[in-house]
Amino acid sequence: MNAQSVWTVPPDHPAFAGHFPGIAILPGVVLLDLALQLIADAHNVALQTCTINSVKFLHPARPGDVLTITHKQLDNGTIRFDIGTSTHQTVSGSVVINSSA
């Protein structure tokens, strides 16, 4: 399954209040939560059944950025995801959905 979503980072997102004054950067945990929620929804599973294999934060996301979030399930069951803008990759990673959780 391949999936793609688009999300615009709201300039007034509450995370910007303290992260960082004068140089607004969306925290990685917000980006990771976004990717995990989209993956869990697409596979109709609870978030707690997802295990993060790897994640790399490659470029900051800023207010107003239009982010494209893609994910693809590989043959071995791992789900690869990427988040980026039209000019740079922001996050890449992979997760596994645990069937026994």
Domain count, the chain: 1
**Alpha carbon of 28 to those of 55, 77, 101: distances in Å?**
10, 24, 25
Q: Is residue 77's pLDDT more than 90?
A: no
Residue with tokens 């980072």: 9
Work out whether strand 50-57 and strand 2-8 pair parallel, antiparallel, or are unpaired: unpaired
Q: Tens digit of pLDDT for each residue in 12-71?
A: 999 998 878 788 999 999 999 999 999 999 989 888 889 999 999 999 999 999 999 999
Residue 91 has a pLDDT of 98
Predicted pLDDT at 52: 94
Query: pLDDT category, 1, cuts 50, 70, 90?
Result: low
The token duo for 47 is 């978030």
Residue 15: CATH number of its domain = 3.10.129.10
Range of the domain at 37: 2-97
Identify the CA nearest to 3 among candidates 37, 51, 53.
37
The encoded tokens of residue 15 equal: 């995370």
Q: Are 82 and 91 within 8 A, CB to CB? A: yes
Supply the pTM of this predicted model.
0.90
